[in-house]
Structure 1
């Protein structure tokens, strides 16, 4: 059983993650890094793939890193970024624990059709 403090911390963490991913460019960055897997991607490659200026990308990477969604690693003169899946696992666990009565996928579509 969770204490009130545990729930508040998990809720706060969920809000940080969801807020970070609510912005389109950050969601795309996270998607790219998740697809890159263990190879990761350099900032230049991410910027080129998304057509985003480097200074703008730097801000987005910083927000994603603070949210725990990505990590960076220096490899020689380059900084390589990696997507972290653990935070999504934690987010899903929180949502399942705190929103147990949410409709399973598909039921909401049937309810709308019946209305």
Structure 2
């Protein structure tokens, strides 16, 4: 189980954590998955702390670490796109890492 995102959906005001189940108990206890999960959590933390360069570096590490058991390329492409936008137009000072969905 990994966290994918923290979002507010259109028409709501409360942020929701979105998770994905990637495998069974054996997979979750494997050293490879634990390494990936740690990298992924660090990427989310860097992203939410506005440490864009660190988050980008961790995205590349996450993609490599997850390549054998998960197809998460689209997720990391999404974060890379958001980071590119935030580098050009930073989020407001009170941004809490929540993505606000503007469409369903």
TM-score by length of 1: 0.29
TM-score by length of 2: 0.31
Q: Which has the higher contact order (CA 8 A, sep 6+)?
A: 2
Instruction: Compare CA radii of gyration and give the structure with the larger one.
Output: 1
More helix by share: 1
